[in-house]
Structures are given as C-alpha cells and as structure tokens.
Amino acid sequence: MKKISKLRGMQDIEPLQAKKYDFIEMEFNSISKSYGYDEVRFPILENTELFERSVGDESDIVNKEMFTFESKSGKSMTMRPEGTAGSMRMAIENGLLDSGQQRISYKGPMFRYERPQKGRSRQFQQLSLEAYGFDDYSIDLEILEICKEFFTKLSLGEKIFLEINSIGTQKDQKIYSTKLKDYFSNFKKDLDEDSLKRLEKNPLRILDSKNEKLFNLIEGAPKIYDSISTKSKENYSKIKDFLEKLQIKYIENPFLVRGLDYYNDLVFEWKSNELGSQDTVCGGGRYDSLSKIIGGRETSAIGFSIGLDRLSLLVEDSIIPKQKSLMIISLEDSYFLDALKLATSLRNKLNNFSVQFLGKEKNLKSLLKKANKKNTDFMVIIGKKEIDSNSYTLKNLPKNLELQVNGFEALINNLNENIQ
C-alpha cells in the first residue's frame, strides 16, 4: 500500500529536536514563573470571527493564511494563527479580567497557510506571555527585560538584537493612515494588488508588505512618529531611557508596525542575522483596545510571542544538559525480577539518568552493540555471579571500563561520581 506522509508544512518533531524544545520550554517556564506569570491553556480551534475582528480583515493572516473550515453545523471555525486573541477571549470569558491584574503564559502550536521554508512552516510552535490591567510603562520594561534574560540564559549573546517603535494610540493611527493614503495614492501604478486593497481600508498595512519592490517607496513614506500624540511620545521616550539604564540594547525601526491591527504604542521584535529572510524570533507590543474589539471591557494589555522553531535554530546543542543513560541487563531468566526491581530502585535514586531495562534480552554481545549504537553511557549486568555475591557488574561504555561494585549503595555512589 502507498506510504502515508505528513501534510505539507506540518511538523514531525523527532526525539533529538524534542529534547531541545523541552530544554528551551523549561527555561521559559522557569523565568516566567520567577516573574509571576501563570500558565493557561485554550483551544486550538476558535470561532473565525475572533480573528477577523482582532487581527484585522486586511491583514495577510486573515486574507491569505488562515486554516478555516465549516463544522458539520455550518459554523465557521479557524485553527488559531496566533495566540493573543484566543488568550484574551479566554480571559474575558472566564472572568480573569474581573479579578484584577493578570500575568499569564502559554505555549503550543499555531497554524498559518504559508509557503514552507527554513524557519517557517504551516504548523509552528510559540512561547508567549501576556499581561493585562497594567497601565504604565513599567510592564513594558518588564516584558522586554524577561526577553533579554531568557535569550541570555540560552547563550544567544550577539546572535539576537532588539528593534522597537511606537505606533501611538488607535486615534493617532487613524490620523497617520490619512497621511499614508495621501502619500501612496501618488504611486498607485507602483503598488501591488494587496497594497491597493490596503490603501482603501488600512494603509498602515502597506508598511508591513513583504514585496521587496516596494521597499524604497515605503522608506519614503511619512514616519508614524510625527503623527503620534505627546503622551505617546513621552511614554516612548521614558521606555528608551530606562532600556539604556537597564543596559538593554535596542535599535529604533520607524517602519516597524507588526502585522496585526490591534497594536498601539510600543511594538518590538527580537531578530537575528543568522536566520536568513525569516529573521524575527520574537514579536510583541501593547494592545490596549483588543479586549473591547472582541466584546470585553477596555483593558490595557501587552505581550509577546516567541517562535520556538526559529529560536531552536539559534540555540547551540552544547548548552543543553545531557542526561546520562543506563541499561540494566539480566543474563538469565531466573534473574528477571531482580533486574526489574533494580531498574525501579535506580530510577528512584538517580535524578539525572534514564534507566532502561532490556527485559528478556540476554545476548551480551548483541546488547553491547545496541548500547553503543544508542550512545549509552552505562550498563549494569546481573548474572549468577552477581546475585551470589550481592554485587553488580558496571560497565562505563564510553571509557570501555568494567567494575565489580559491591552492594546497591556503592552502585549509586559510583554512578553519581561518574555523572560529574
């Protein structure tokens, strides 16, 4: 029969990659909890209207990239293309916003119908933080500080850099959109089909165009900073001042607007020059109007999402702690239970080991080949000699050493010494 393959752009995450993901996620969970962010989970499938109203009906995501279909009852459903809208919907629906300020974290798969390439697939993993109900710029600084500390923990150093911008309030953006419309209307013949549509409905989206032929035209467009309010300018100035005091380096990018309609004031992206065209590792900003857009009360909010797949391309394997591996071998069927009990006891005593019992397999030559193929670190052998003398044969496979160890405690001590 014909072999069934995974769908184009979907992900298979094999053991080695899963270990790297697990390490990154543990570091993310650790720093999130240290700042008081509680994990939440919400559905992969949402009402399509949630994204049409929040992300924006002129955004690439809504126009081109959503996996949308009808349920058997005729309801339009969409596999989440991003997490912020679903997170806010959950917070509103479950009364979290009525319980005061909230710091939440979540992770999981998102889905966009895009052309698969390095660092971009149709199913991709994200790590995210959101903070609701915080009005002043201290939370903006906290969010950026968390990013910096997280990337430092992953030893990324100069591999990653921060770009920031302020896009003002929603009211400021309307004023700016008028200026952009006047500007781009003079170049209609140079605009592509998508930009012509955006010109009428949301000219700000033209700045997010990926069409390289438009880059020079976009660079000549009016800058949003000239249209934002005095309050937004003052807030942005204070954020920059504190970033410098916190020694968080940044680059101002006047064309950074993010690809979603709900943002206001601070927007930011962490990028890397080592990823080619898919260079954005993390993106976020403020979205104080999102709650109201999807039916809640007005709530100040800020957050970010990290692309785990892209981030993993930057993280060196060498920083991931290696778990030691141990195989338990019973050379005779009569010692099967002894070996099984030993494996259980070792798992309870050894925190940094994986312990595998090979069951009824007892061909030592074959088992050694299997162990070496799997890069196993240690092997413990139980046979008649070992049972009679209350000892264990311990093999250090990488060093090709064999020891006779007397008693369980001595076995534990020897393994713990060798893990250092």
Specify the CATH number for the domain of residue 366. Answer: 3.40.50.800
Ranges 26-35, 53-62, 154-163, 372-381: which has the least confidence: 53-62
Q: What is the structure's pLDDT at 259? A: 65
Give yes or no: residues 98 and 120 share one domain. yes
Q: Give the Cβ contact number of residue 181 at 10 Å.
A: 16
**What does residue 94 show for φ and ψ, rounded to 5 degrees?**
-100, 10
Q: Enter the tokens of residue 130.
A: 């959101």
Pair (358, 281) in one structural domain: no
Report the pLDDT value the prediction gives residue 374, as an integer from 0 to 100.
86
Domain span at residue 95 reads 15-169+228-317
d(Cα 30, Cα 42) in Å, to the nearest integer? 21
Q: Are residues 116 and 48 in the same domain?
A: yes
The total number of residues shown for the chain amounts to 420
Cβ(299)–Cβ(158) below 8 Å: no
Element (H, E) at 109: strand 102-111
Q: Which two tokens stand for residue 1?
A: 């029969």
pLDDT for res 238: 96
pLDDT at 209: 77
Residue 221 falls inside a structural domain: no
- Is the pLDDT reported for residue 63 higher than 80? no
In a domain, 214, yes or no: no
Mean pLDDT for all residues in the chain: 90
pLDDT tens for 264-281 read: 999 999 999 988 878 899
Same structural domain for residues 364 and 300?
Answer: no
Indicate whether 213 belongs to any domain: no
**272 and 352 together in one domain:** no
Residue 248 neighbours by CB distance under 10 Å = 17
Residue 350 forms part of a structural domain = yes
Q: Is there a single domain that holds both residue 65 and residue 80?
A: yes
Backbone angles phi, psi at 131, to 5 degrees: -130, 125
Quick one: 248 and 335 in the same domain?
Answer: no
Of 274, 293, 317, which residue constitutes the final position of a domain? 317
**Any domain includes 208:** no
Q: pLDDT band for position 161 (50/70/90)?
A: very high
Residue 251: what pLDDT? 96
Calculate the alpha carbon distances from 370 to 68, 336, 363, 401 in Å.
47, 19, 11, 17
Distances (CA, A) of 283 to 179, 280, 304: 26, 7, 5
Taking only the tens place, the pLDDT of each residue in 374-386 is 889 999 988 888 8
DSSP symbols for 5-64 = -PPTT-----HHHHHHHHHHHHHHHHHHHHTTPEE----SEEEHHHHHHHT-TTSHIIII
DSSP string, 302-361: EEEEEEHHHHHHHS-GGGSPPPEEEEEEESSGGGHHHHHHHHHHHHHH-TTEEEEE-TT-
Give just the sign of the alpha carbon dihedral 100, 104, 109, 115: positive
Indicate whether 146 pLDDT > 70: yes
Q: Which secondary structure element, helix H or strand E, spans residue 198, and what is its range?
A: helix 193-201
Q: Are residues 309 and 388 in the same domain?
A: no
- By percentage, how much of the chain surpasses pLDDT 70? 98
Query: pLDDT higher for 332 or 252?
Result: 252
Residue 54 has pLDDT above 90, yes or no: no
- Segment 41-70 shows an average pLDDT of 87
Q: What is the pTM of this model?
A: 0.88
Contact partners, residue 42, CB within 8 Å, separation at least 6: 86, 87, 89, 90, 106
Say how far residue 219 (Cα) sits from the centre of its chain.
31
- Asked if residue 293 and residue 387 are part of one domain, the reply reads no
Rounded CA-CA distance 61/81 in Å is 7
Q: In the block, which residue shows the tokens 């100069």?
A: 158
Q: Report the domain count for the chain.
A: 2
| Residues 136, 102: Cα–Cα separation, whole Å | 14
Check whether 362 has a pLDDT greater than 80: no
126 closest CA partner among 21, 55, 14, 270 = 21
pLDDT of residue 255: 83
- pLDDT exceeds 70 at position 49: yes
For residue 407, tell me if it sits in a domain.
Answer: yes
Would you say 382 and 342 are in contact if contact means Cβ atoms under 8 Å apart? yes
Based on the domain organization, do 368 and 245 belong to the same domain?
A: no
Q: Partners of 270 in the beta sheet?
A: 162, 282
**Are the CB atoms for 79 and 67 separated by under 8 Å?**
yes
Domain C-terminal end among 267, 292, 317: 317
Model confidence at 123, pLDDT cuts 50, 70, 90, reads very high
The pLDDT of residue 335: 86
> 284 pLDDT exceeds 80?
yes
Domain termination site, one of 288, 317, 346: 317
Q: Does the pLDDT at position 58 exceed 70?
A: no
Confidence of residue 360 (pLDDT cuts 50, 70, 90): confident
Average pLDDT over residues 349-355: 90
